[in-house]
Amino acid sequence: MSGEDECLSWAARDPSGLLSPHTFTRRSVTNDDVSIKITHCGVCYADVIWTRNKHGDSKYPLIPGHEIAGVVNKVGSNVDRFKVGDHVGVGTYVNSCRECEYCDEGQEVSCVKGQVFTFNAIDYDGSVTKGGYSSHIVVHERYCYKIPVDYPLESAAPLLCAGITVYAPMIRHNMNQPGKSLGVIGLGGLGHMAVKFGKAFGLDVTVFSTSISKKEEALNLLGAKNFVISSDHDQMKALAKSLDFIIDTASGDHAFDPYMSLLKIAGVYALVGFPSEIKISPATLNLGMRMLAGSVSGGTKMTQEMIDFCAAHKIYPNIEVIPIQKINEALERVVKKDIKYRFVIDIKNSLK
């Protein structure tokens, strides 16, 4: 079986991050692999970080994209979970050791030897991984997810990073108890999914933002119960010790103590954003017997569970579909937070 046909893509060549058409060759389809014709790819802030070499480890030419949805067009001889024509997704990683305790538990995201990211990573065969801004991808079947045929592929794409990144800590810390209260900090790609999951779990959701412009979106578009301007001390004080859970999606630097004080005794604060530092008073944590927990995306088992949950409850990300030709403009808008709430590239109809 040859998976070595030409792969069309858009790639960054240098730290300017400017993307343009690029052609390369994918690896052959081995016995355990699935080849996927990509139809859609979500746009994540990670795409900005690595195309622009923000961490100093970008490997050019770099093809970003780790929110991938598409259709199976080839399978290896050992593959039994998928067949040609199936709708599938690929998320933030495409390999792991498959031997450690975490891989054994379906928590490959925490692999002892390290997950292999979907783009700009060194795979076990020494090759550099290339992401979803491309016509097709070849992946071991373990790292593919079934997408129900009646769930739109363009809506499925953002679930593979934004969706699972908030769903995983919510399930891990039992934030799916109807009648409990959830605070969501930040209303971007991750935050709006946290609101949707919170509502589906039967939680009373309060959105925290620094911008009053988000109020109508939070309350009327997404259906949150409350909206609070986090810089308003009176609004914040009125909510002291009132929340069971908080999901913090903000990556900009911000104070933690004011939010921590909003939690009830033994409340859980889950951080999924990446501010440059965390400063917290031990008293805020200890006296309230509260938990501050970190999280990234989820393992394969939980990711599939999340996709199935979204399909069953008709949960769809709010997206703006764009052609690949508008990706540079879209990445600039991501930086400026000018998106409600996730760009999705229409690979199928625009990458020619």
Rounded Cα distance, 336 and 352, in Å: 29
CATH tag for 6-161+317-346 (out of 1.20.960.40, 3.90.180.10, 1.10.10.10, 3.40.30.10)? 3.90.180.10
pLDDT of residue 5: 78
pTM of the model: 0.94
Domain range list for the chain: 6-161+317-346, 163-294
Q: Average pLDDT per run of 10 along the chain, which is 352 residues long? A: 74 97 93 97 96 96 98 96 97 97 96 97 94 97 97 98 97 97 95 97 96 90 94 93 96 92 97 93 94 95 98 97 98 91 96 92
CATH no. of 163-294: 3.40.50.720
pLDDT of residue 339: 87
- Are the beta carbons of 259 and 183 closer than 8 angstroms? yes
